[in-house]
Amino acid sequence: MSTVTHRHDSIPIVDLALETRQALEHDKDQKLSIARRLSDCIADDTIDYVRVLRTKMLFGQAERGSRC
Averages of pLDDT over runs of 10 residues in the chain (68 residues) are: 50 77 70 77 82 81 56
pLDDT at 29: 66
The residue extents of the domains of the chain are 12-58
SS3 20: helix
Say if pTM beats, i.e. exceeds, 0.85: no
Asked if 22 and 2 touch (Cβ cutoff 8 Å), the reply is yes
Asked if 61 and 53 touch (Cβ cutoff 8 Å), the reply is no
